[in-house]
Amino acid sequence: MSRMASAYREFRRKLPAEVSNIAKNEFIDNFGRNKVGGTRDKGKFEPWKKRKIETTRSGKVTKKSGRSVLVKSGRLRRSFKIRPDINNARVVNTAPYAAIHNEGGTIKGTFKVKEHTRKGKFKVKEHTRKVSITMPKRPFMVSNSYIFNAIDQHFETQLKTIFNNDNR
């Protein structure tokens, strides 16, 4: 009985980190299923709103990218970190722009543009620029039935292992 109790305590100690990992992997999977990002729940896939096609000022299409919607450098996808404590499983995204992409909203502000040279000869003086950008909601950190089912399955498998090893 004492082996079973110590095995259960060890399982309980590791559980928040393991659950955090399960959630982290699901969140990363949301970034690219066949180059289409989105979330899934109860057998239904909800793709994210597509990007606008990149164009020049004259309206010419520069290129159609084959990448996933929220992936350019991959920083947002790589920025998931697990932060469990003794009773809670947590996953955070450390990218500064993660919240606006996940929740959507409007970014407003005035930004300083440094002095620079454009295409060799044309010099641009330092100035400020007012910006207002509306970002569509593209949730990638969503608790869904897939995460809960994976956690239940992990929990059940580990408990069966603990109880079956003691009966030998």
Single pTM value for the model: 0.76
Whole-number Å distance between alpha carbons of 153 and 159: 10
Query: How many beta carbons lie within 10 A of that of residue 47, not counting itself?
Result: 13
At 35, is the pLDDT very low, low, confident or very high (cuts 50, 70, 90)? low
- What is the residue type of 128? T
126 neighbors 115 (Cβ within 8 angstroms): yes
The encoded tokens of residue 85 equal: 């404590």
Interval 40-90: pLDDT, tens: 888 788 888 887 766 666 767 666 666 677 888 889 999 999 999 999 999
Closest CA to 20 of 168, 158, 156, 154: 154
**Which DSSP symbol is given to 63?**
E
Query: Which residue in 97, 67, 80, 72 sits closest to 26, CA to CA?
Result: 80
pLDDT of residue 148: 93
User: How far apart are alpha carbons 46 and 52 in whole angstroms?
Assistant: 18
Report the candidate in 103, 104, 67, 96 with the shortest Cα–Cα distance to residue 79. Answer: 96
Q: Which of 35-39, 68-72, 145-149 has the highest mean pLDDT?
A: 145-149
